[in-house]
Structure 1
């Protein structure tokens, strides 16, 4: 049995349409220039406060909070339904569960929003728990919580961005980087990925 923590955005589902449109919605509400969806895909994965601090070129907490609030207004009303499950993911999750593995989601999204995405994609039956960061927790804390629940077993972290690999390394997890998301091979390797996978089905070859 293996305990596996999956990132959500860029790992299980492609959130590009919902995230980029919601970022632009927030920028428009703050009177900032909107950007092309293509230029915004680099911001898929990091926490929202980092995203808007960078885009708005500010450390002003009130402005960042206003942007996050606007983002969530759109994302939670429609954006989460614009997620697209990556081809092959459902079969991979099903096989892992049948193998006796215990699956978690550890995402920088707020927990309630992450659960809405998971339920929309009808993935909830595969996971022991969906854990989100929001503004109060860091991803490595989510992994520590999982380790606490599954104290007898090692942890595998699967994600597409440096934040996932850094979090995994901080708790001595095996770190698997996926290349179908939004992080490059260089980003993932530099941040500690021990193996890189090109397609979801390759997860089974590595873990089973």
Structure 2
């Protein structure tokens, strides 16, 4: 297969965002006298948007919709102000993007992170000129693994979905790739592990960004 485009997940794939996410949510919890979580726990909370993360981080007694919405808004505002404090590209990502930019490939980012923060973190920490499209979550109904946004990106780039590599680090990403008919690549440096990625449709696993070049 000759691939013509790559869609990347953001958190856990291009950027290591976990500390800023954990710090922000733990501050919200601490200020409300609720139990906090270690950073590793947040690796299981991320992947389905900030509101879902807030729901998982709250005690079960605080998960009614009105309470979740209130804490979500607090978390959203705090994280927006602190989303690039400790966040950085994973080792090898900048070199990978430099190499891909020299090839005849279309690149895009699709995240379940709120669009505002997706734009903010990607543009602050990655060479935005390399990407044809950068998109985060604007509508809960379109949240991954719904493939609609991925398919829309493919259409906008003028590429058949079968000619697109979808790169991500969670079950949601692999499901999105499968649902969109794209080639699913799971990364082992992100927030989840090999077992989850394989179980959800990963067609290839890579342990370093440079290994992606072997598919081209």
Common fold by TM > 0.5: yes
How far apart are residue 162 of structure 1 and its match? 0.5
Alignment match, 1:82:
86
Please say which of residues 4-13 and 70-79 is displaced more in the overlay. 70-79
| Runs of 5+ consecutive residues of structure 2 not aligned to the other structure | none
Q: Which residue of 2 aligns with 1:68?
A: 72
Cα pair distance change 1:135/1:81, threshold 3 Å: farther
In the TM superposition, what are the counterparts of 1:12-31 in structure 2 within 5 Å?
12-31=14-33
Q: Secondary structure at the match of 1:64?
A: helix
**Where does residue 35 of structure 1 map in the other structure?**
37
Q: After the TM superposition, list the runs of 4 or more consecutive aligned residues in structure 1 that deviate by more than 4 angstroms.
A: none
Equivalent residue, structure 2, for 1:141: 148
- Whole-Å separation in 1 of the counterparts to 2:181 and 2:32: 41
Structure 1 residue 60 displacement after superposition: 2.0
Query: Following TM superposition, by how much is the alpha carbon of 1:173 offset from its aligned partner in structure 2, in angstroms?
Result: 0.7
Match of 1:113 in 2: 117
Q: What SS does structure 1 have at the residue aligned with 2:85?
A: helix
The CA deviation string for residues 6-40 of structure 1, in whole angstroms up to 9 with x for no partner, is 00001001111101111212323444211222322
Return closer, same or farther for 1:146/1:11 CA change in 2, 3 Å cut-off. same
1:184 aligns to 2:184 (yes or no): no
2:45 touches 2:56 (CA, 8 Å); kept in 1? no
Q: Relative to structure 1, is the Cα distance of residues 81 and 129 closer, same or farther in structure 2, using a 3 angstrom cutoff?
A: farther
Please identify, of 74-83 and 98-107, the stretch whose mean Cα deviation from structure 2 is larger: 74-83
Q: Mapping of 1:165-204 within 5 angstroms? A: 165-204=174-213
What's the CA shift string for 1:127-181, capped at 9, x where partnerless?
Answer: 1111111453212222021122134432211000011011111111100000000
Query: TM-score w.r.t. structure 2 length?
Result: 0.88
Q: 5 Å matches for 1:44-55?
A: 44-55=46-57
**Separation (CA, whole Å) in 2 of partners of 1:130 and 1:91:** 19
State the aligned residue count: 207
- Is structure 2 residue 106 aligned with structure 1 residue 102? yes
Give 5+ residue unaligned stretches, structure 1. Answer: none
Structure 1 residues 14 and 205: alpha-carbon distance in aligned structure 2, compared to 1, 3 A threshold: same
Report the 3-state secondary structure (helix = DSSP H, G, I; strand = E; otherwise coil) of the residue aligned with 1:176: strand
* Backbone CA RMSD of aligned residues: 1.7
Per-residue deviation, 1:116? 0.7
SS in 1 for 2:185: strand
Alignment-derived partner of residue 150 in structure 1: 157
Is 1:81–1:120's contact at 8 Å kept on the other side of the alignment? no
Distance 1:122 1:164 in 2: 20
